[in-house]
Structure 1
Amino acid sequence: MWSFVEKNKNDIIYLSLLLFSVGIGPHYRYLSPVSIKKWVGSILGLLLIFIVSGYNALHPILSATIGLLAIKASTVKYCHIVTFFFMFGYLFFFRLADKFGLPLASGQTNLIEMIIVLRVVGVAFEINGSWLAVAKAKKGGEKEVKPSRDGVERDEDFLELINPNLDDLFHYTFNYVGLLTGPYYRYRTFEDYFTLQYHKYADCLGETINTLRIVPVYVSLYLAFSTIWPLEYVLTEEHNNRHFLYRMMYPWVLFAAFRQRIYAGMTLAESVCTSSGFGAYPVQGRNKTGHGPTVGYLKLKQMSEEEAKKSQYDFATIESMDVWGCETVVTLRDSMKVWNKAVQYWVAMVVYKRFPVKPLKIHAALFVSVIWHGFHAGYFFCIYACPFYLMAEDIYYKLYYKNATGTAKKVIGFIMWFLRSHSESYQAAAFLLLTFDRIWIYYSSVYHYWYGVWLVFLVLGLVLNQVHLMCRPKVVREKSEVVEPSK
């Protein structure tokens, strides 16, 4: 027992701090006035950093301080670019500290630094984005809402100018809510928490209990999987002598254990938010992870107290993981949408939508995602492999699954789910093994077979797609040829 505690000491401390953050939420929720509440949240955040990091607390505090000063010192036109390159530059230095004669920080401190990067860079892009949007609206008189595919008029990304002072930037960056494991949330969500007071009327306790109740299951499954099927086993000679099918399927249990760990951490992080009432918005805002309300935001801000009392609330804004979706969705494309949704939102808003070269948008997003996670080869093998699988998956999805019905759809769906799950497990093995030499040992033990399978799937899919196009009725084919160029 003691050896287990020693081995997992940092994880136990981290888990305890998350539970502590959940426990103080109800007390923090009702603190007043707002200025005191902000300072208490920031002091708690700094204490958590010192407890987790010790002397290495200097890294997140120093990087955040310089990053915030860079925002205020730069012009609004360029503050996001300056901040982005500084924060990611410091992230490089932080992870290579041993090369400069400094001790490397723990994995838990690394998680805090990662969250700090998201917050500081994110708020810089919010400031710049709101400035651009307001200037554009004044110049062209654009509407505040835009139609979406479902026919509902959505708010623009920025409806009003965001220009926090240095004190508010400090409080946003170091507030304890979401500081340990996320989720990422916008500065607008942070400010709404203190000004709109929705948390007074949301069922914070009920939501927290409902969120927490499954955590023991995740923890138990993680301990079981990681004990029975340890990661290091794939590097042993004994593993290499097992049957090929065993070696091929071993990543399934490795990825299953990893998922349970992530589910537990993310669920606890969401509970920190719900216990304090953070991220509660009326459901009519059609709230989205990371973003908050997407419909009628300015009207929600004008809601009377009577209306607020009668409204229904959700915490979709701070939802990181759709666990059921992660386990059941058919395609890798859908799986990526429900995994760590808050960070996915940040990457989409900060990198994908703002990158100036359209053909390179997806590569820029993937690259930033990789270096945010770390420099190890495993992150590149895992994350950069996704587009190659998606190329093949999209073909089969359109050819066989999209328009299928009944039993055929279920059978095809199961096959696609199995292939998606197997692909993720194969990629996750690289993510967990991290270094190239360790990855090579495992992939060599299974003859790198999955890359060959991907290539065969892709080539076969392209051939089948051409056959399908040739077999379509001439009228339909001619119609599609006319429509295609305009897409």
Structure 2
Amino acid sequence: MKMLTFLAKNWNDIVYLSLLLFSVAIGPYYKSIGTVHLKKCIGTCIGILLILIVSGYNAIHPIISAIVGILIIKLIPVRYSHVVTFFFMFGYLFFFRLSDKFGLPPPSGQTNLIEMIIVLRVVGVAFEMNGSWLAMGKKKKNEHADLISKDGKEKDDEFLEIINPNLVDLVHYTFNYVGLLTGPYYRYRTFNDYFNLLFSKYVNCMEFTINTLKAVPLYISLYLALSNLWPLEYILSEDHNNRSFLYRMMYPWALFAAFRQRIYSGMTLAESVCTSAGLGAYPVEGKNRTGHGPTVGYMKLKEMSEEQAKTAEYDFNTIESMEVWGCETVVTLRDSMKVWNKAVQYWVAMVVYKRFPVKPLKVHAALFVSVIWHGFHAGYFFCIYFCPFYLMAEDIYYKLYYKNATGMKKKIIGFIMWFLRSHSESYQAAAFLLLTFDRIWIYYSSVYHYWYGVWLAFLIVGLALNAVHKMARPTVKKGKEAMESRTN
């Protein structure tokens, strides 16, 4: 009976997990298809089939939004199409999430994930096309521009070619099954290279996939154990409120630990879908970065001969979403953000942060888009939009005490900063998981909203210490100069 209850309660997740495993399993067969056109068509058909299985009638939403977005890209001049595409796709995302208000069936969480990935792909390729167009325009104006940066490193030559896929290729890119269920996001250039370059043919996909998958059973087991021992709904109960303050304060640690295992398992499976098919493989000499692909020598990599491709060393950094060990061990929140959902963070950086025209508002624009991409619940605002306030305080203490510390002192300060970072993330994650304002208010009230007070105190004390440190520096400098003059 308990097993039946468990299956009924988690049926959607079980189906979703099964489809991810199916996507991993068919990777070697998909990789082996020799004809590029056939390979693209099969990948698209599998992708649409997965959408239909997961979403049922709601499949109309990701399919229609993607088709309209693609038509906008092709019908509107490239100078403006990226902006129009952005607003349409996010506008449709809002409509989709409120579809029950219009008498339509409410979307499932799994369909929501697919729609989120569709938004990233369609908007991302529009900005990619616009970026290549802008870069080529600059290149024509500066035909003799030096391709070496001031520090002697080769410049990123990502846009030395026009990126302008036709309508059919845009459809194939948008609906290809690899990464469709839960990411990771990869650019159109990565998708195109997969079919036209030799790397996926010679990379050892099986070895990478096995290495990626081997930790998944641990993540799933930990998630099931933690979520059963410390369920989310208990945090809203009267019994929880009668517990000690320390218990109530630390309960989000258990919630966030369970949530991390869920994310780790999903993201790791998603990466395995890519590695099993060979998508995202590049030679290590390209210094590949998540989402972006090769950062140096891209044009040289494209010209690699078959003999060179056979002997090259490869990685799948391009499709890496999570650095699990980093998520657990990094000292600061700033570093933690860099290793969490890296592919989406790359998208936000390239599409929003670097393109937003008002420099002082770049960070706020990036955070706002990240929030509305996740959803319009209050929990996402509480979780994501409060990060900068903690970072302001953290940066001060990092520079004053941790950055130049050594030995045991550095380890002790590092542990303190790790604990505070982890506690801050757990406190914010509680809001992310509780979602609605009334539920968040119940929990935060049970602990007297204490962490916001702690943040404020950290910031005020940090600013005061920083001011004292700045005042002390000239005095120390003058003392040293006086000693030197006496010596001379």
Q: Normalising to structure 2: TM-score of the pair?
A: 0.96
Check if 1:123 corresponds to 2:125. yes
Alignment of 1:322-337 (within 5 A): 322-337=323-338
Secondary structure of the residue aligned to 2:79 is coil
2:392 counterpart residue number? 391
Kindly state the Cα deviation for residue 203 of structure 1 after the two structures are TM-superposed.
1.1
Kindly state the Cα deviation for residue 159 of structure 1 after the two structures are TM-superposed.
2.0
Alignment of 1:227-242 (within 5 A): 227-242=228-243
1:184 counterpart residue number? 185
Structure 1: distance between partners of 2:89 and 2:182: 18
| CA deviation profile, 1:245-301 (whole Å, cap 9, x unmatched) | 000000000000000000000000000000000100000000000000001000000
2:463 counterpart residue number? 462
| CA deviation profile, 1:173-227 (whole Å, cap 9, x unmatched) | 0000000000000000000000002011111000000000000000000000000
Structure 2: distance between partners of 1:374 and 1:111: 11
Name whichever of 447-456 and 195-204 sits farther off: 195-204
The verdict on how the C-alpha distance between 1:154 and 1:327 changes in structure 2, with shifts beyond 3 A counting, is farther
2:406 counterpart residue number? 405
The verdict on how the C-alpha distance between 1:194 and 1:423 changes in structure 2, with shifts beyond 3 A counting, is same
Secondary structure of the residue aligned to 2:243 is coil
Kindly state the Cα deviation for residue 97 of structure 1 after the two structures are TM-superposed.
0.4
1:245 counterpart residue number? 246
1:14 counterpart residue number? 16
Structure 2: distance between partners of 1:10 and 1:156: 43
Q: Is the 8 A contact 2:203 2:278 kept in 1?
A: yes
Structure 1: distance between partners of 2:390 and 2:253: 18
Q: Is the 8 A contact 1:148 1:154 kept in 2?
A: no
Q: Is the 8 A contact 2:392 2:459 kept in 1?
A: yes
Structure 2: distance between partners of 1:143 and 1:472: 43
Q: Is the 8 A contact 2:198 2:306 kept in 1?
A: no
2:168 counterpart residue number? 167
Alignment of 1:261-272 (within 5 A): 261-272=262-273
Check if 1:374 corresponds to 2:372. no
Structure 1: distance between partners of 2:205 and 2:150: 31
Q: Is the 8 A contact 1:146 1:155 kept in 2?
A: no
Kindly state the Cα deviation for residue 147 of structure 1 after the two structures are TM-superposed.
3.6
2:483 counterpart residue number? none
Structure 1: distance between partners of 2:146 and 2:206: 35
1:112 counterpart residue number? 114
The verdict on how the C-alpha distance between 1:477 and 1:28 changes in structure 2, with shifts beyond 3 A counting, is farther
Structure 1: distance between partners of 2:341 and 2:145: 32
Kindly state the Cα deviation for residue 476 of structure 1 after the two structures are TM-superposed.
4.9
Secondary structure of the residue aligned to 1:437 is helix
Secondary structure of the residue aligned to 1:78 is helix
Q: Normalising to structure 1: TM-score of the pair?
A: 0.96
Q: Which amino acid aligns with 1:92?
A: F
The verdict on how the C-alpha distance between 1:142 and 1:472 changes in structure 2, with shifts beyond 3 A counting, is farther
Kindly state the Cα deviation for residue 142 of structure 1 after the two structures are TM-superposed.
6.4
Kindly state the Cα deviation for residue 472 of structure 1 after the two structures are TM-superposed.
1.1
2:283 counterpart residue number? 282
Structure 2: distance between partners of 1:21 and 1:163: 28
Structure 2: distance between partners of 1:476 and 1:341: 42
Q: Which amino acid aligns with 2:36?
A: V
| CA deviation profile, 1:384-423 (whole Å, cap 9, x unmatched) | 0100000000000000000000000000000000000000
Secondary structure of the residue aligned to 1:180 is coil
1:428 counterpart residue number? 429
2:209 counterpart residue number? 208
2:37 counterpart residue number? 35
The unaligned stretches of length 5 or more in structure 2 are 480-488
2:79 counterpart residue number? 77
The unaligned stretches of length 5 or more in structure 1 are 479-487
The verdict on how the C-alpha distance between 1:325 and 1:69 changes in structure 2, with shifts beyond 3 A counting, is same
Structure 2: distance between partners of 1:416 and 1:448: 21
Q: Which amino acid aligns with 1:104?
A: P
Kindly state the Cα deviation for residue 474 of structure 1 after the two structures are TM-superposed.
4.2
Alignment of 1:348-359 (within 5 A): 348-359=349-360
Q: Identity of aligned pairs, percent?
A: 77
The verdict on how the C-alpha distance between 1:221 and 1:68 changes in structure 2, with shifts beyond 3 A counting, is same
Kindly state the Cα deviation for residue 471 of structure 1 after the two structures are TM-superposed.
1.1
Kindly state the Cα deviation for residue 473 of structure 1 after the two structures are TM-superposed.
3.6
Secondary structure of the residue aligned to 1:256 is helix
2:484 counterpart residue number? none
